[in-house]
């Protein structure tokens, strides 16, 4: 039977039997490897430095000229605290590998947002504040180095019987 004929037969069979027309078969999702965790973490960390040097004009130098906008400081503090809370309170409680990667990505996004706000939303007249917020972002991303995922991945590969 040719491929085209087999496709027509399958379409005819599904049209003739509506109960199976849209039946979804569950597919097993592939398990993320440790390399995926490290690649995502490395890309976020490098992205921060690329933004600082290419789009942000390099390492800020000088002193602040006045007080920085308080709303940026409050938003950055909330983002950093939320990211640290995910890393220290949520991630250690995760026992399933499928839930670990999304938690890591959300926490990294919150940490990176601090750096993005420091680079783009804060004016160049606040170099000390920009550098402080950038370092806060970089250290928050640093605590997400995925050494915590190794035990879950090993456990998922060698399930206890």
Render pLDDT for 18-47 as a digit per residue (tens, 0 to 9): 555 555 566 666 666 788 889 999 999 999
**What is the reported pLDDT for 150?**
73
Render pLDDT for 89-100 as a digit per residue (tens, 0 to 9): 999 998 887 788
**What is the reported pLDDT for 24?**
57
**What is the reported pLDDT for 80?**
97
Q: Cα torsion at 40, 45, 47, 51 (round to 10°)?
A: 160
**What is the reported pLDDT for 70?**
92
Q: pTM score, two decimals?
A: 0.74
**What is the reported pLDDT for 115?**
94
**What is the reported pLDDT for 118?**
92
Q: What is the DSSP letter of 125?
A: T
Query: How far apart are alpha carbons 122 and 110 in whole angstroms?
Result: 17
**What is the reported pLDDT for 61?**
86
Low-confidence stretches of the chain (pLDDT beneath 50): 161
Residue reference for tokens 């160049």? 124
Residue reference for tokens 């950055």? 76
3-state secondary structure of 54: helix
**What is the reported pLDDT for 75?**
96
Q: Is residue 110 within 8 Å of residue 86, measured between CB atoms?
A: yes
């Amino acid at each position: 039977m040719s491929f085209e004929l087999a496709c027509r037969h399958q379409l005819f069979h599904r049209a003739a039997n509506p109960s199976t027309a849209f039946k979804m078969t569950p597919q097993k999702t592939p398990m993320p490897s440790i390399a995926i965790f490290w690649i995502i973490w490395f890309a976020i960390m490098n992205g921060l430095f690329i933004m600082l040097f290419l789009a942000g004009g390099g390492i800020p130098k000088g002193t602040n000229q006045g007080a920085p906008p308080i709303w940026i400081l409050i938003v950055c503090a909330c983002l950093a605290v939320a990211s640290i809370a995910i890393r220290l309170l949520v991630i250690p409680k995760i026992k399933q590998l499928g839930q670990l990667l999304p938690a890591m990505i959300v926490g990294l996004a919150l940490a990176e947002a601090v750096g993005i706000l420091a680079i783009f939303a804060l004016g160049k007249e606040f170099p000390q504040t920009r550098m402080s917020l950038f370092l806060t972002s970089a250290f928050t991303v640093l605590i997400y180095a995925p050494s915590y995922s190794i035990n879950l991945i090993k456990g998922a590969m060698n399930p206890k019987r």
